[in-house]
Amino acid sequence: KPPIIVRDFAPALGLKPFKLISELMEMGIFASMNQNIDETVAVKVAEKHGFLLEIKHRGDASTQQAAKEKQAKAKANPDEEEVKNLVSRPPVICILGHVDHGKTSLLDTIRKANVASGEAGGITQHIGAYQIEFKGKKLTFLDTPGHAAFTKMRSRGASVTDVAILVVAADDGFMPQTDEALKIALGVKEQQPEKFALIVAVNKMDVKGANLDQVKNQMQQRNIAPEDWGGETVTVPVSAIKGTGIDELLEMIILQSEVLELKANPKAEASGAIIESQIDVGRGPLATVIVQRGTLRVGDAIVCGAQWARVRAMFDDQGKNLKEAPPATPVRVIGWSGAPDSGASFKVVKNARDAEKMAEEEEHRLKKITTTSDAAPKQISVESLF
């Protein structure tokens, strides 16, 4: 029997895949994009949308077509080895919004409720990012909310974030910084529509004066109408303080991530982005990095701009020592020559000698620039976060 895959089945019904996934969820089925749906379930869903499901057999025109398309796709990409090694990776999520609308509270609530089992008992470290596990899926959150932290991130072109959560307080509605954050997020979405999702979390639903409809109305005015108003923006009412709606929010993040088909090659040499860095009196320069491609290991040599490191040790947000960090894992790295810039990209090179040489060359180049130009202030942007 041919499989009925969410990805193919949804468009056949005229649905967005995440819509189908959420309908299945309502039926108690937690399916992902590439999952096979039970025939009886498929029949039911089809009926609901006014279709009679007819199962064709292998070798018919549509499966042949699909096979052809797959072949063409593989050919279009010259790096077959890379494609072969791609595996799905956790999403990287950031939380944006107006001051006092509850970004920090939301990050704290999500974290406290979902510390990965086995890591319980660890001491929470604020390293600028953390990873949780929800329904068996890993999610990576950037833990650097607030405009000060965002504007510190320099625009280096490294796109880190897959999902942005725009927090809007249910009593205040959209405020200037909400609009600012939205503008940035929509800009990113325009650049990479298939690789980035925006979710609105309407927070403080517990307060007197909470007005979900008003927020939805404001969303509509801004052309990001919520799903239940005929738009496409996933909107989740929550209370960070009472803890309500948090599971729904996490479920929606997982759904959206499935649609984005986030993949990375864990076998490649590691590269990624710096989330934050500082100089520690005892341990020297520290940097929290997110591995975006490949697997970072203790002993690796890294270069990042004019700084380099031989990874002496890595820690997660529970203070646990890690020997390796696969894609989308945030880790604090020890062993740097100096503090690398947040937002900058790093990559693993052959050995420490090469790393040092490359960093020195970069430093040399930067010095030249500052002595020959007027040392104009560097462009600062929050966009590098995405």
Q: Where along the sequence are the contacts to ligand GDP (CB under 6 A)?
A: 97, 99-105, 145, 203-204, 206-207, 239-241
Query: Residue 271 Cβ, how far from ligand GDP at the closest point, in Å?
Result: 31
**Cβ–Cβ < 8 Å for 276, 144:** yes
Shorter beta-carbon distance to ligand GDP: residue 37 or 252: 252
Rounded Cα distance between 308 and 299, Å, is 13
Nearest to 330 by CA among 296, 307, 284: 296
DSSP track, 360-371:
HHHHHHHHHHHH
Query: Residue 207 Cβ, how far from ligand GDP at the closest point, in Å?
Result: 5
Determine the length of the chain: 386
The annotation status of 101 as a binding-site residue, yes or no, is yes
32 binds, among Mg ion, ligand GDP, none (CB under 5 to 8 A by kind): none
347 binds, among Mg ion, ligand GDP, none (CB under 5 to 8 A by kind): none
At 203, phi and psi to the nearest 5? Answer: -95, 170
Shorter beta-carbon distance to Mg ion: residue 104 or 214: 104
Touching Mg ion, residues 89-108 (CB under 5 A)? 103-104
237 binds, among ligand GDP, Mg ion, none (CB under 5 to 8 A by kind): none
Helix H or strand E segment including 331: strand 330-336
Rounded Cα distance between 318 and 264, Å, is 24
The annotation status of 97 as a binding-site residue, yes or no, is yes
- CB count in 10 Å sphere of residue 124: 14
The annotation status of 206 as a binding-site residue, yes or no, is yes
The annotation status of 126 as a binding-site residue, yes or no, is no
Give yes or no for residue 177 binding Mg ion (CB under 5 A).
no
175 binds, among Mg ion, ligand GDP, none (CB under 5 to 8 A by kind): none
Shorter beta-carbon distance to ligand GDP: residue 101 or 216: 101
Helix H or strand E segment including 235: strand 234-237
Q: Are strands 129-134 and 197-203 parallel, antiparallel or unpaired?
A: unpaired
Which of these segments, 46-54, 88-96, 139-147, 339-347, binds Mg ion (CB under 5 A)? 139-147
Q: Are strands 330-336 and 307-315 parallel, antiparallel or unpaired?
A: antiparallel
Binding site residue list for GTP: 97-104, 143-147, 203-206
Binding-site annotation: residue ranges: 97-104, 143-147, 203-206
